[in-house]
């Protein structure tokens, strides 16, 4: 699928972030938008991309997608604000300059359409002015209870002073939760000091299926340093209904962050605002941040798990298919015969010969005898046959001999063997042997470890 490019040109920004040239990023982005794949670009468009490898190309693609999503979200937020008459020049400038999705959402939080919350209900009951009175904190002469008495209205379900003050605090609590600065600081606390806590759910401890999660029945660990496998195990235990997993922070630090922003006086109104700020943190902000951290940590754990799996798979795929075994290798041929070499378990050349698979019965018998002797003498454990001309005939000839020990016979892709055999590397390794011997040795080594 072709990459959809953002409307804005982010080439310079991505180039700076990834230490590339803007031209490289721009060309790569254009080719990706035209449907080119990462392997294709890395292999066949080096001259266009400036020799970017597959890792760099993937980073360019991923960053373009991230910035495209950020740009789309920014446009949607600005449109929403304008449609609902919340847009101001200052807010628009802040949204335009926001560089991350979190920063963008924090700015939008106070204006995001919400379901009916305690704060919206309190506003419907006419308590917003009381909330503003409390926030003003006009000094020791102001009495919140006296002011709240003016808002008692049984018809609006505000029967007494405490109901009025409670509604006003709900409005302030939501303001605390939506404040961009407080959200940034509390997010930082979660990132640096968040602790993931796992406990067994009551009545599930004795369940036999819960035994695999026993290590996490009472476990806590710093979120920023927990290994991905442990986090995923906790999530799995939670999903299966055996564990309760939470991310906690020192509540007092979060409270102080909100109070520094909202509490400006040590008076009765300040006390009401303090109660509201703590309620806003505990009831709204902390759960919101916990949800965000759970999402981020789960995504990171998934990425780590995939990376570990990929590394393990890579090691498995690159492992020697045969391993350290003594190999007899044949480079098939009709007219000039089959070039034959014997290699030790480390791939070193032991001897070489030529056998024929066509000719008189005497010649074929001699070839069979020589091949059998080589297998016996060098204790051959496997036979490699190049898949070029006469490969099938050579395979049939070898299999019909009934060689001692019945070593497996394997067809090996010999593409490039002739290039290696004529290379400087091969000449240095086998200075006293011609290209035919070098090519046969390459075929045997490919079976041992391609």
Does 81 have pLDDT greater than 90?
no
| Closest of 102, 83, 81, 84 to residue 93, by C-alpha | 81
So what's the pLDDT on residue 441? 92
Count of residues making up the chain: 450
* Predicted pLDDT at 139: 64
The Cβ of residue 220 has, within 10 Å, a number of other Cβ atoms equal to 14
Across the range 188-206, mean pLDDT stands at 92
Q: Where are the beta strands (DSSP E) in 171-234?
A: 195-200, 218-222
- Is 357 a residue whose pLDDT tops 70? yes
pLDDT for the residue numbered 378? 93
- Confidence (pLDDT) at 379: 93
What's the confidence (pLDDT) of residue 314? 84
> What is the mean pLDDT of the segment spanning 347-369?
91
Q: Tell me, what DSSP letter sits at residue 156?
A: G
Question: pLDDT for 250-267, tens place per residue?
Answer: 989 999 999 998 988 888
Work out the pLDDT band at 419, boundaries 50, 70, 90. confident
pLDDT tens-digit readout, 86-130: 888 888 888 888 888 888 888 888 888 778 889 999 999 999 999
Bridge partners, residue 222, by sequence:
195
DSSP type of residue 6: P
| pLDDT, position 179 | 92
> Given pLDDT bands bounded at 50, 70 and 90, which one contains residue 176?
very high
Report d(CA 214, CA 217) in Å as an integer. Answer: 5
List of residues 6+ apart from 218 with CB closer than 8 A: 198, 199, 200
- Tokens 């404040």 sit at which residue? 179
Pairing of strands 327-331, 338-343: antiparallel
Q: Both tokens of residue 192?
A: 């640096």
User: pLDDT tens digits for 304-353?
Assistant: 999 889 888 888 777 777 778 899 999 998 888 899 999 999 989 999 99
The DSSP 8-state label assigned to residue 289 in this structure reads: H
pLDDT digits (tens, 9 = 90+) for 377-416: 999 999 999 988 889 999 999 999 888 888 999 998 887 7
Q: Which of the two residues, 277 and 115, has the higher pLDDT score?
A: 277
pLDDT at 141 over 80: no
Going by the DSSP 8-state scheme, the letter that residue 409 receives in this structure is E
**β-bridge mates for residue 384, sequence order:** 329, 410
- Mean pLDDT over each residue of the chain, to the nearest integer: 89
Q: Which stretch, 72-86, 93-107, 166-180, has highest mean pLDDT?
A: 166-180
What SS3 class is residue 200?
strand
Percent of the chain with pLDDT over 70: 99
pLDDT for residue 448 is more than 90: no
In the prediction, which pLDDT does 110 show?
84
How much is the pLDDT for 227? 92
- In this prediction, residue 206 carries a pLDDT of 84
Angle at CA of residue 174, ends 173 and 177, nearest 5°: 90
Taking the model in full, what pTM does it have?
0.64
């Amino acid at each position: 699928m072709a990459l959809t490019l953002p409307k804005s040109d982010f080439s310079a920004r991505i180039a700076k972030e990834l230490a590339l040239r803007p031209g490289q990023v721009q060309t790569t982005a254009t080719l990706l938008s035209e449907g080119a794949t990462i392997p294709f670009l890395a292999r066949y468009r080096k001259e266009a991309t400036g020799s970017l490898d597959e890792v760099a190309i993937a980073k360019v693609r991923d960053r373009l997608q991230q910035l495209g999503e950020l740009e789309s979200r920014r446009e949607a937020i600005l449109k929403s604000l304008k449609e609902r008459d919340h847009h101001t020049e200052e807010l628009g400038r802040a949204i335009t300059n926001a560089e991350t999705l979190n920063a963008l959402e924090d700015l939008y939080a106070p204006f995001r359409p919400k379901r009916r919350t305690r704060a919206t209900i309190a506003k419907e009951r006419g308590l917003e002015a009381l909330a503003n009175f409390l926030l003003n904190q006009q000094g020791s002469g102001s009495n919140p209870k006296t002011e709240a008495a003016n808002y008692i209205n049984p018809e609006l379900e505000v029967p007494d002073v405490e109901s009025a003050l409670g509604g006003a605090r709900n409005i302030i609590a939501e303001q605390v939760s939506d404040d961009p600065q407080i959200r940034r600081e509390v997010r930082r606390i979660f990132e640096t000091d968040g602790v993931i806590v796992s406990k067994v759910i009551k009545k599930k401890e004795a369940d036999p299926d819960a035994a695999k999660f026993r290590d996490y029945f009472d476990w806590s660990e710093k979120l920023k340093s927990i290994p991905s496998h442990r986090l995923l195990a906790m999530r799995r235990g939670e999903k299966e209904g055996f564990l309760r997993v939470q991310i906690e922070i020192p509540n007092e630090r979060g409270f102080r962050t909100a109070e520094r922003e909202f509490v400006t006086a040590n008076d009765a109104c300040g006390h009401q605002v303090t109660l509201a700020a703590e309620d806003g943190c505990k009831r709204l902000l902390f759960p919101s941040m916990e949800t965000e951290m759970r999402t981020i940590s789960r995504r990171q754990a998934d990425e780590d798990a995939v990376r570990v799996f990929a590394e393990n798979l890579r090691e498995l795929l690159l492992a020697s298919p045969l391993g350290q075994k003594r190999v007899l290798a044949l480079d098939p041929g009709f007219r000039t015969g089959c070039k034959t070499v014997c290699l030790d378990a480390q791939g070193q050349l032991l001897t070489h010969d030529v056998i024929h698979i066509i000719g008189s019965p005497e010649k074929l018998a001699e070839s069979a005898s020589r091949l059998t002797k080589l297998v016996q003498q060098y204790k051959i454990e496997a036979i490699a046959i190049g898949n070029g001309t006469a490969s099938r005939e050579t395979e049939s000839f070898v299999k019909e001999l009934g060689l001692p020990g019945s070593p497996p016979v394997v067809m090996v892709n010999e593409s490039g063997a002739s290039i290696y055999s004529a290379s400087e590397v091969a000449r240095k390794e086998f200075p006293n042997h011609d290209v035919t011997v070098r090519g046969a040795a390459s075929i045997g080594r490919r079976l041992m470890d391609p």
